[in-house]
């Protein structure tokens, strides 16, 4: 950034910091810096600059909701700076199917996550929580064998702790009280979208080529439950879908995945098989004995 642009943006961010939460300030700072890196000095921005920036965000895997958030930040900046510049009316919602993390990938991510974020990934991989639910979870919501989760639209549900590693992680990190289970800066709520940043780092350290998101890990939880024969109704209650049709859509996406179908049969191959060769020899011996008996008669 040149000096004039730096001053303008810093002054605006200072105003944001005085009136909004730390997480909001960090989000605004990140978006405006990204736009500056893409389009240069704010004085040279055009409507095409904004549209091109949002298109690039889509190419890099940003969901429609993320791009709408970035567009809102850009509009706030332009309004506060009295810059009269048209912006896209809306961001179309696309129903693209997310990548589903495999069990091996989820294990790799958990092993390569940093410190407290390992617990965040466990909550998504072993309890099916969304990124938002992980951010909101406080230690007062964690009991010995369950989690009291705050979902969208103020809906709540109780999620059982079903894996030993999640229970052990909770026991090792438990602080109790109103503290966040996975806190952000100064103990405040973790910034929205930050866990996807954590996942990108874990993917890189694990040497994984696929780009996985929090949604990918949640889909991985559903896939693992289906492979183990968990009824759709139980999966719906665990992940907090208000409508079974939403769960069915998850399952329909998985049914078209050849890798998912192959993995679903793996438990069958792992069962101890009978010694077929020995059975064939015994059957052959009985037939030969019967033949010799007929010849002797």
Instruction: Reply yes or no on domain 103-267 having CATH 1.10.443.10.
Output: yes
Give the per-residue pLDDT at 44: 84
Average pLDDT score over residue span 216-240: 87
- Note the maximum CA span of the chain: 112
Confidence of residue 253 (pLDDT cuts 50, 70, 90): low
- Which residue would you say has higher pLDDT here, 90 or 124? 124
Confidence of residue 269 (pLDDT cuts 50, 70, 90): very low
pLDDT for residue 295 is more than 80: no
Give the per-residue pLDDT at 37: 87
- Which residue would you say has higher pLDDT here, 30 or 58? 30
pLDDT for residue 185 is more than 80: yes
The structure's pTM equals 0.56
CB proximity list for 194: less than 8 A, separation 6 or greater: 184
pLDDT for residue 212 is more than 60: yes
- Which residue would you say has higher pLDDT here, 6 or 151? 151
Structure tokens at 236: 């719906």
Confidence of residue 281 (pLDDT cuts 50, 70, 90): very low
Q: Say what angle helices 47-59 and 64-80 make with each other, to 10 degrees.
A: 150
pLDDT for residue 271 is more than 70: no
Radius of gyration of the chain (CA): 27
Give the per-residue pLDDT at 284: 53
pLDDT for residue 286 is more than 60: no
pLDDT for residue 9 is more than 80: no
Q: Own/partner pairs for 149-158, CB < 8 Å, 24+ apart? A: 149/240, 151/240, 155/240, 155/242, 157/237, 157/240
pLDDT digits (tens, 9 = 90+) for 239-252: 888 888 877 777 77
pLDDT digits (tens, 9 = 90+) for 99-115: 788 888 999 998 998 88
Query: Can you point out the beta strands (E) in the chain?
Result: 146-150, 156-160
- Which residue would you say has higher pLDDT here, 60 or 104? 104
Give the per-residue pLDDT at 272: 46
The domain spans of the chain are 3-80, 103-267
Mean pLDDT over the full length of the chain:
77
Q: Residue 23: name the closest of 179, 200, 154, 195 by CA.
A: 195
- Cα separation of the two ends of the chain: 105
Q: Residue 57: name the closest of 82, 38, 76 by CA.
A: 38
pLDDT for residue 294 is more than 80: no
CB 152 within 8 A of CB 246: no
DSSP letter for 83, please. Answer: -
Rounded-to-5 percentages of helix, strand, coil across the chain: 65, 5, 30
């Amino acid at each position: 950034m040149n000096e004039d642009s730096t001053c303008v943006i810093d002054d605006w961010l200072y105003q944001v910091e005085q009136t909004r939460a730390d997480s909001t300030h960090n989000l605004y700072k990140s978006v405006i810096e990204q736009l500056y890196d893409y389009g240069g000095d704010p004085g040279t921005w055009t409507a095409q600059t904004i549209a091109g920036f949002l298109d690039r965000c889509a190419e890099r895997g940003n969901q429609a909701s993320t791009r709408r958030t970035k567009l809102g930040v850009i509009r706030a900046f332009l309004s506060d700076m009295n810059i009269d510049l048209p912006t896209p009316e809306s961001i179309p919602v696309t129903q693209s199917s997310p990548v589903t993390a495999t069990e091996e990938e989820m294990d790799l991510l958990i092993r390569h996550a940093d410190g407290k974020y390992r617990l965040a990934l466990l909550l998504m991989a072993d309890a099916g929580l969304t990124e938002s639910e992980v951010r909101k979870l406080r230690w007062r919501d964690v009991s010995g064998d369950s989690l009291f989760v705050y979902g969208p639209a103020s809906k709540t549900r109780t999620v059982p702790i079903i894996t030993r590693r999640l229970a052990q992680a909770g026991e090792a990190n438990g602080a109790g009280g109103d503290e966040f289970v996975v806190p952000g800066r100064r103990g405040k709520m973790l910034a929205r979208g930050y866990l996807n940043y954590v996942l990108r780092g874990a993917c890189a350290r694990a040497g994984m080529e696929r780009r996985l998101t929090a949604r990918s890990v949640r889909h991985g939880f559903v896939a693992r439950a289906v492979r183990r024969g968990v009824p759709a109704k139980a999966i719906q209650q665990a992940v907090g879908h208000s409508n079974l049709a939403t769960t069915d859509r998850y399952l329909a996406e998985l049914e078209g995945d050849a890798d998912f179908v192959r993995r679903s049969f793996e438990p069958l191959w792992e069962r101890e098989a009978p010694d077929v060769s020995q059975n064939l020899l015994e059957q052959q011996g009985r037939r030969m004995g019967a033949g010799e008996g007929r010849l002797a008669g």
